[in-house]
Chain A
Amino acid sequence: MSIDRTFAVGLRVLRQLRNDPRSIAMILIVPLFLLWILKETFQAYPGVFERLGPMLLGLFPYVVMFLVTSIVMLRERTQGTLDRMMVSPIGRGDIMFGYAFAFLVVAAIQSCFTLAVAVGVFDIPSKGALWQALLLVFAMGISGMALGLTSSAFARTEFQAVQFMPLLILPQIFLAGLMVPVDLLPRSFAWLSRIVPLSYSFRAIGDVMIDGQGWLSADVRWDTLVTLLVPCALLGLGTLTIHRSGTN
């Protein structure tokens, strides 16, 4: 690991994003657009949007960051620039953490913006401390990024990369309590729900924003920890998969 090279990778990825204002707009606007639609469609069912809103507030950054990262990373493989880096003296960790650094910045901006508008304009409940909610939304953005970085190693085309979304994210959504509360799932599926990272994130964000629980709750501490540790583990895994060449 060398700081200057890691930083150079991060800066370059940010420059690429800055050159693509349409994507920046999508990253910022799409989550809010979806929240707004949801709020309006559930008008006839009071309480539903209030229950789902906080989870979705974390889910949208998760999905968006997953897509953006996996496609940017895959392009790196297919256009030959990753090969160029692999032949240069840069280390695999430098590449991975350079990416993480860039998308950390993006996720930070996105989570602040989304949370501010969601609470301020869409009246999403925010009983708990706002900074704890922010931390969780941010961590979910990072989780999506880490999953995207790692899974892009297994895709050869952008089409395949996008197909990883229904494979890796939709089952998590079904199992993590968004559709059916985890308590009401059949026994075997309740088990599956436990190994799905989004379960922990959804529960934590609900506990904080809806129930107003905070750091004093051991559940919130544990769920937040899992939400933060999963992306770290994925980034480590991603570093191992980075040598797999897209053309190999």
Chain B
Amino acid sequence: MGVGRMSNVAIVLDHMRVVRGGHEIVPDLSLVVPKGSVFGLVGPSGSGKTTVIRAILGLTRVAGGQATVLGHPAGSAVLRPDIGYMPQGEGIYTDLSARANLEFFAAINRVPKGRVDVLLDLLDIASIADRRADTYSGGQRQRVGLAIALLREPPLLVLDEPTVGLDPRLRNHLWSLFRQWAEGGTTLLISTHVMDEATKCDEIAFLSDGRLVALGSPEALQQQTGTDDLEDAVLALSERSEVGHVH
């Protein structure tokens, strides 16, 4: 395909098929994530968002088609320094403090320890950094999880439901950070099941049962369906049961 090596493209999925435990979770998915954009993987739970993310990271095998990330096949060892990943449900050691969590991941990523304090400040968790993470609120744990993904200042950030269960104020704060990083050239792939968040993405791919229901910018999807609400737009598109390609 060759498009994966284009400098303005971060992720290319070309008829990607993913099978887990004998079930075809993603039958045939094609999409392009441009560099420096906030790309939303949207869909109800069980729609295959996490599976798509795991395939992109190389944590789940791609059974058919191709997944190209920053010009390399998904899962290539050369990609590891370039991807920051936050799994669903934080992915932190709750029996360690935020600082100990960050110091550990800094050590295995060979990031200078000074970066830990920078991130604790950036995400406003410095005051609780020396307490065990199981004493934190959900939002605080979430921010520790995000800080770990940011250790390397990676060009590609993959965040699996990073704002689930957060209060609106904190959610807005995080989204303004995401926007800021994208403007700085970082590509963000974010999964969410909240429509309100989907409208904040540059582009979204709406998944249902592992299939693409809609693809495009939130505004374009609304225009195409003549609705002023993204949720209605997606509903309209899924009822037409066709893939909407609008750019």
A87 CA to B94 CA, complexed, in Å: 20
CB distance from A118 to the nearest CB of B (A): 30
A83:B59 contact, CB within 8 angstroms? yes
A84 CA to B104 CA, complexed, in Å: 12
A71 CA to B98 CA, complexed, in Å: 22
A237 CA to B108 CA, complexed, in Å: 23
A90 CA to B108 CA, complexed, in Å: 6
A52 CA to B59 CA, complexed, in Å: 47
- B interface residues, how many (CB within 8 angstroms): 31
What residues on B are CB-neighbors of A86 within 8 Å?
A: 58-59
| Binary contact track B141-176/A, C-beta < 8 Å → 1, others 0 | 000000010000000000000000000000000000
CB distance from A114 to the nearest CB of B (A): 25
| Binary contact track A83-108/B, C-beta < 8 Å → 1, others 0 | 11111111000100000000000000
Interface 9-mer from B29-37, B82-90, B234-242? B82-90
Closest to A84 in B: B91
CB distance from B99 to the nearest CB of A (A): 11
A88:B88 contact, CB within 8 angstroms? no
Prevailing SS type, chain A contact patch: helix
| Binary contact track A1-30/B, C-beta < 8 Å → 1, others 0 | 000110011011001100110000000000
A81 part of interface (Cβ distance < 8 Å): yes
B245 part of interface (Cβ distance < 8 Å): no
A248 CA to B54 CA, complexed, in Å: 10
* CB contact under 8 A between A83 and B85, given known A16-B96, A20-B95, A248-B60: yes
A87:B96 contact, CB within 8 angstroms? no
B83:A87 contact, CB within 8 angstroms? yes
Most buried by A among B85, B96, B108: B108
A85 CA to B108 CA, complexed, in Å: 8
B105:A88 contact, CB within 8 angstroms? yes
| Binary contact track B64-107/A, C-beta < 8 Å → 1, others 0 | 00000000000001001101010111111111100010001101
A245 CA to B95 CA, complexed, in Å: 21
* CB contact under 8 A between A12 and B104, given known A83-B59, A89-B81: yes
A12 CA to B93 CA, complexed, in Å: 10
B132 part of interface (Cβ distance < 8 Å): yes
What residues on B are CB-neighbors of A80 within 8 Å?
A: 87-91
What residues on A are CB-neighbors of B105 within 8 Å?
A: 84, 88
B109:A89 contact, CB within 8 angstroms? yes
What residues on B are CB-neighbors of A12 within 8 Å?
A: 93, 96, 100, 104
CB distance from B111 to the nearest CB of A (A): 10
CB distance from B37 to the nearest CB of A (A): 21
A217 part of interface (Cβ distance < 8 Å): no
B148:A84 contact, CB within 8 angstroms? yes
A89 CA to B109 CA, complexed, in Å: 6
* CB contact under 8 A between A16 and B107, given known A87-B59, A87-B80: no
Closest to A98 in B: B108
What residues on A are CB-neighbors of B87 within 8 Å?
A: 80, 83-84
A53 CA to B81 CA, complexed, in Å: 52
A79 part of interface (Cβ distance < 8 Å): yes
A217 CA to B92 CA, complexed, in Å: 50
What residues on B are CB-neighbors of A19 within 8 Å?
A: 95-96, 132
What residues on A are CB-neighbors of B93 within 8 Å?
A: 12, 16, 79, 81
B57 part of interface (Cβ distance < 8 Å): yes
A214 CA to B108 CA, complexed, in Å: 43
What residues on A are CB-neighbors of B92 within 8 Å?
A: 79, 81
CB distance from A156 to the nearest CB of B (A): 11
A8:B80 contact, CB within 8 angstroms? no
A152 CA to B57 CA, complexed, in Å: 23
B59:A245 contact, CB within 8 angstroms? yes
| Binary contact track B96-127/A, C-beta < 8 Å → 1, others 0 | 10001000110111100000000000000000
A88 CA to B59 CA, complexed, in Å: 11
B132:A4 contact, CB within 8 angstroms? no
A90 CA to B132 CA, complexed, in Å: 25
A16 CA to B133 CA, complexed, in Å: 12
What residues on B are CB-neighbors of A11 within 8 Å?
A: 104, 107
What residues on A are CB-neighbors of B54 within 8 Å?
A: 83
A16 CA to B103 CA, complexed, in Å: 13
A94 CA to B104 CA, complexed, in Å: 13
A9 CA to B20 CA, complexed, in Å: 29
What residues on B are CB-neighbors of A89 within 8 Å?
A: 77, 80-81, 108-110
Sample (13) of A-B pairs whose CB atoms are under 8 Å apart: A8-B108, A12-B96, A12-B100, A15-B96, A15-B100, A81-B93, A84-B91, A85-B108, A87-B80, A88-B108, A89-B109, A248-B20, A248-B59
